[in-house]
Amino acid sequence: MQVNLPADEPVTVAKVSVHDKKVALFTGKTVSGEELFRGWDDILCRTKLAIDTNAERLFEKLDWKAFGNHRVAFYGDYRDQFKELTTLMGYEAVEVDR
């Protein structure tokens, strides 16, 4: 099964590290993976999302040990709400794209 996700939509991507009490966050805009990569449908997972974001900064700051490689994407810009939630939880918000 494969789901083709919409392009040109704002997204917030998050991942919680319960052990480290951190939440990794970044925002961006969805783009067409087919336009970026030949054979997009056959690369890795069946359902995937291409996002235009500050990828250079994301890879510099991302803690793969704490956060692994799978994230959850939410359609819409919820960065501020996630930051408020992490404060309420006593967690650290790690804005990996900034």
- Three-state SS annotation for 65-80: HHHCCCCEEEECCCHH
Does 4 fall in a domain? no
- Taking the C-alpha atoms of residue 81 and residue 91, their distance in angstroms, rounded to an integer, is 13
Separation of alpha carbons 89 and 70, rounded Å: 21
pTM, full prediction? 0.88
Domain span at residue 33 reads 10-95
Do the domain assignments include residue 61? yes
Give the pair of three-digit tokens for residue 60: 């510099």
What pLDDT digit, counting tens, does each position of 3-57 carry? 888 999 999 999 999 999 999 999 999 998 888 888 888 887 778 899 999 999 9
Is there a domain that residue 2 lies in? no
CA–CA dist 91, 87 (Å, integer): 6
- Counting every residue, how long is the chain? 98
Predicted confidence (pLDDT) per residue in 72-84, tens digit: 999 999 999 999 9
Residue 75 is assigned to a structural domain of this protein: yes
